Structure 1
């Protein structure tokens, strides 16, 4: 009787051990499978992010190349034609014309001068030669000076002089972000004062645009950049994402802030 009980106990122990072994095996297989699945999903996500980054980089390079081409055409072709027209205009003798015709001549001459100035300004705005020659800070200052009109709008800068351009292509993208944000503020905000500030610390660059107009909140930005008319905002976000940056729109009591942060620029 005792021997039968011992046999039954032994069979029970063996059965339980086998069941535990099977359960452990199934558990390990499940964990291994889930881990493999997670690794695959992570690899797929990393590949998608890499492909998206490559597409954005290609789009940014293509846009910059097109900007340079248009700038050169404006400067070399349109600018030259306008300058030639100005030269011929000066050769016209208007002393024997009536006063009304002289006034028309003067007005035409004035408009021609303005056209030459505007074409030159657009060409310089599209072309990044100032940035390539003198760096990001000087390019931002120069851009602000062109906008600054004193009576209508005041643009000031407070830029960190310790920042040095190490990657010109990256700084061109940052400069285009500033240009696009300025364009939006000038077009929609009705601001009278704009300030651009920067801080460079621990290889990270922070840029702040402050203005006293009608700005965007973060919710506005998130909504507008997904509509057709928000292409400029979408381009801004793409350029910020290209360098793992962050952009935030903030409203306080009386001013609006656009905060841009680029971490680990030189890593």
Structure 2
């Protein structure tokens, strides 16, 4: 009888012990799940915060450039125009040929500076990113590079995606500009290929040159802004892929989910 009671007590103890161990395992598992969910929540909050900072930065940058552009046009431009008129009046009133020549040279410098300032003002106040589609922006930029006749840029597209976000369009466009400029300055390439297409509800931008390439692992990325390009791509939810081989060119791929 005592032995039976002992066995029952032992069984109950084992059951309690097993239940206790099971409770600990469940607690640990739930803790890990909650910790993982909390970590994801923190990462999501961090990404949202960075995106908000980026949006604010882009907006402030745009407003600042537009303000500077208007100041150049309305203030400095008018003063230079007035100075040009004064030099023309002096040349008309002065009869000394040598003095007139000097006045004319001054007037030419003022007019040249005025033209450059007008172009700068126009570029600063330009809202083409807001008005045009991403494909139009990239295609126009390729045409500008081709006009320089330093290399040939081949642009093709297979995309019907319409991006409404100024922030996303601005970042994709600026990355394209930076790649084109870096290829011209550093790669000694003859051709640059730009492809914009849709793949499985993802916008894919591929930029490739046939230049000298470089070692991605040993490159000082800060020198040509690769880290910044990668960071901006990730902030808009995109995937950044860079490949380069010595004497075989460089390829940059940006993948942006559309959902």
For the criterion TM > 0.5, the same-fold answer is yes
Cα distance in 2, alignment partners of residues 67 and 216 from structure 1: 34
Matched, 1:248 2:241: yes
Cα distance in 2, alignment partners of residues 178 and 66 from structure 1: 22
Q: Which residue number in structure 2 is paired with residue 51 of structure 1?
A: 49
Matched, 1:204 2:202: yes
The question of whether the paired residues in 2 share the 8 Å contact of 1:251 and 1:257 is answered with: yes
Q: CA deviation at 1:83?
A: 4.4
Q: Which residue number in structure 1 is paired with residue 221 of structure 2?
A: 224
Matched, 1:257 2:245: no
Q: CA deviation at 1:245?
A: 0.9
Q: CA deviation at 1:240?
A: 1.0
For structure 1, the residue ranges without an aligned partner over 5 or more in a row are none
| Aligned 1:1-267 pairs, distance under 5 A | 3-88=1-86, 92=91, 97=97, 102=101, 105=104, 109=108, 112=110, 114-160=112-158, 162-219=160-217, 223-225=220-222, 229=223, 232-252=225-245, 254-264=248-258, 267=259
State the SS of the aligned residue for 1:199.
Answer: strand
Cα distance in 1, alignment partners of residues 141 and 28 from structure 2: 60
CA RMSD of aligned residues (A): 3.5
Cα distance in 2, alignment partners of residues 213 and 114 from structure 1: 36
Cα distance in 2, alignment partners of residues 193 and 95 from structure 1: 56
The question of whether the paired residues in 2 share the 8 Å contact of 1:131 and 1:138 is answered with: no
Q: CA deviation at 1:259?
A: 1.8
The question of whether the paired residues in 2 share the 8 Å contact of 1:194 and 1:211 is answered with: yes
Cα distance in 2, alignment partners of residues 201 and 95 from structure 1: 72
Aligned residues: 256
Cα distance in 1, alignment partners of residues 151 and 112 from structure 2: 20
Normalised TM-score (structure 1): 0.75
For structure 2, the residue ranges without an aligned partner over 5 or more in a row are none
Normalised TM-score (structure 2): 0.77
Q: CA deviation at 1:194?
A: 3.2
State the SS of the aligned residue for 2:97.
Answer: coil
Cα distance in 2, alignment partners of residues 248 and 162 from structure 1: 23
Cα distance in 1, alignment partners of residues 26 and 254 from structure 2: 46
State the SS of the aligned residue for 1:219.
Answer: coil
Deviations 1:70-118 (A, max 9, x none): 33333443444444445555553599736x9859946972x55554444
Cα distance in 2, alignment partners of residues 43 and 145 from structure 1: 44
Q: In 2 relative to 1, CA 155–104 (structure 1 residues): closer, same or farther, beyond 3 Å?
A: farther
The question of whether the paired residues in 2 share the 8 Å contact of 1:216 and 1:250 is answered with: no
Cα distance in 2, alignment partners of residues 142 and 78 from structure 1: 30
Moved more, 172-181 or 87-96: 87-96
